[in-house]
A and B are shown apart, each in its own frame.
Chain A
Amino acid sequence: MNETTNVNLVGVGGQGILLTADVLARTAAEAGLDVKKTEIHGMSQRGGSVSSQVRFGAKVRSPIVPDGEADILVAFDAVEAVRALPSMRPEGRALVDRCYLVPITVSSGLQPAPEDPDAMLGRLYGDRLLRVDSRALAAEAGNPRTANMAIAGALSRLLPFPEAAWEAALRGRLPEKLVAVNLRAFALGRAALA
């Protein structure tokens, strides 16, 4: 009955979330599906919370994932993963990066620090939680700015698309000189979630 797959990508402005969402949407299109995507950025590009939603299936009518209906959460930041819990289906899986960026409200002392992000995640997501350390993988790939493609690689394990579709999507979205290092990060991410 649930023919449309809903993916919610969240994180902090500047982490490459929108690019990742774009690659995912292109991959689904490469695989012949109907795809719709939406994003909330604008001012949130400036260090605020950012999210993008991608939906694909035989026929998708609206780009917005209603609360409680995300099948997969991709979180680039641990605290943002907690914030996104209401978007999830009870059985939906969460792929969450090891990264936690301290919000300026905390680093400047305006708000108290949250409880340990890893503890919160374990409690709220239980065995639906998958972790990835994209910054370590990106460093291994040879460029810290490829962390988002390491996450995409891990995500590819949770979706039925062939690797070739991902690669074509990535090539279509990145300048030639960055393709090789990003593919490397993607492969490392994919291997990390084997």
Chain B
Amino acid sequence: MMELNVDRLRALRRELLGGEGAAPAPEKPALPALPARPPTLCAGCGHRGVFYTLAKLKATVTGDIGCYTLGVAPPLSSMDTTICMGASIGAAFGMRKAGYKGRLAAVIGDSTFFHSGMTGLLDVVYNKGAITVVVLDNRITGMTGHQPNPGTGRTLLGEPTVQTSIAEVARALGVKRVHEVDVYNLAEVERVLKEELDCGEPSVVVAYGSCVIAAKKAVGAVPHAVDPAKCKSCGACFKLGCPAIVRGEETAPGRFRSKIEPAACIGCDVCAQVCPFKAISTTKE
């Protein structure tokens, strides 16, 4: 943390002025060991299934700047580079030009795409880059506090305005292979991504799912639940890293049944689609 806060400035003053006119550094109390509390993709976030699928398909993923950068964290661990706004596309394209033969996806959010992804995509089409650009389209600028963007259909002041379609922008730039998928339909996400990652031409997949927070999906949500009689403690659902999915009973050393925190779960159904034993389903009557 290199921010210039009071403590840092005081330390610098002590260093530069040899302690003159500055109080000595306060003694820091010793703390017991505490678990880290890193930010995570929200429970029910639509980005989760896309990252899960990219990891499953063993794609190399160049990432970008936004909430979705959290896809880098375990257990998804599904982002290999993050450089700066818009860099996902250039980085993937550069890797391809440098001779990389594997599956290659540039993952970028909708706001970042409008901000600085479009020029990169034009470069990719023009110069025939065989990469797949996956636009995680939640129609909002999540990380900075849910400001609208050109895909939202509202101005910053809340007035209705044009809603720019990312798929149409991609087509206008010359991309022939453009697909739109629903992020909560994992089978469709996997089918389309697999096809596009292996197609050998520039392609764009717009993965749509509105932001959990902006769309207030937690309000009145009916949670999913795990049927302990069906759960085989296989751990598949834990790989999603949904904060609503926690360890339940230990059924064998190091093997845990899954449990869903009803207060946190928004019932997005992604874990139910991942469970090989159909142990997870909605609690809706």
* A109 interface contact, C-beta 8 A: yes
B residues in contact with A111, CB < 8 Å:
35-36
Selected A-B contacts with CB under 8 Å, 25 pairs: A12-B37, A41-B145, A43-B39, A43-B70, A47-B37, A48-B37, A64-B6, A65-B6, A66-B6, A66-B10, A68-B26, A79-B37, A82-B31, A85-B31, A86-B31, A107-B246, A108-B75, A108-B238, A108-B241, A108-B246, A109-B247, A111-B35, A112-B33, A114-B33, A115-B32
* A104 interface contact, C-beta 8 A: yes
> In chain A, residues 39-96, which have Cβ atoms closer than 8 Å to a Cβ of chain B?
41-49, 62, 64-68, 79-80, 82-83, 85-86
B6:A62 contact, CB within 8 angstroms = yes
Chain B: number of interface residues, binned into ranges: 20 to 34
* B34 interface contact, C-beta 8 A: yes
* A164 interface contact, C-beta 8 A: no
B residues in contact with A48, CB < 8 Å:
37-40
- Chain B at the A interface: mostly helix, strand, loop or mixed? loop
Given known pairs A68-B26, A109-B247, the reply for A114 and B35 (CB within 8 Å) is yes
B29:A124 contact, CB within 8 angstroms = yes
* A-B Cβ contacts below 8 A, count: 94
A residues in contact with B41, CB < 8 Å:
46
Among B40, B74, B247: residue with most chain A CB under 10 A = B40
A91 CA to B10 CA, complexed, in Å: 22
Residue in B closest to A109 when the chains form the complex, CB atoms: B247
Given B40, B144, B145, B256, which contacts A104 in the complex, CB threshold below 8 Å? B40
A81 CA to B241 CA, complexed, in Å: 25
A67:B74 contact, CB within 8 angstroms = no
Q: How many positions in chain A have a CB within 8 Å of any CB in the partner chain?
A: 39
* B5 interface contact, C-beta 8 A: yes
Q: How far is the CB of B71 from chain A (nearest CB, A)?
A: 12
Q: Which residues of B contact A (CB under 8 A)?
A: 5-7, 10, 26, 28-29, 31-42, 67, 70, 74-75, 143-145, 213, 238, 241, 243, 246-247, 256
B residues in contact with A174, CB < 8 Å:
none
Among A44, A86, A120: residue with most chain B CB under 10 A = A86
Given known pairs A43-B143, A85-B29, A124-B29, the reply for A67 and B39 (CB within 8 Å) is no
A105:B32 contact, CB within 8 angstroms = no
B residues in contact with A139, CB < 8 Å:
none
A41 CA to B67 CA, complexed, in Å: 12
Residue in B closest to A48 when the chains form the complex, CB atoms: B39
* A159 interface contact, C-beta 8 A: no
Given known pairs A47-B42, A68-B26, the reply for A114 and B247 (CB within 8 Å) is no
Interface residues as binary, A97-120 with B (CB distance below 8 Å gives 1, 0 otherwise):
000001111111111111100001
A31 CA to B28 CA, complexed, in Å: 34
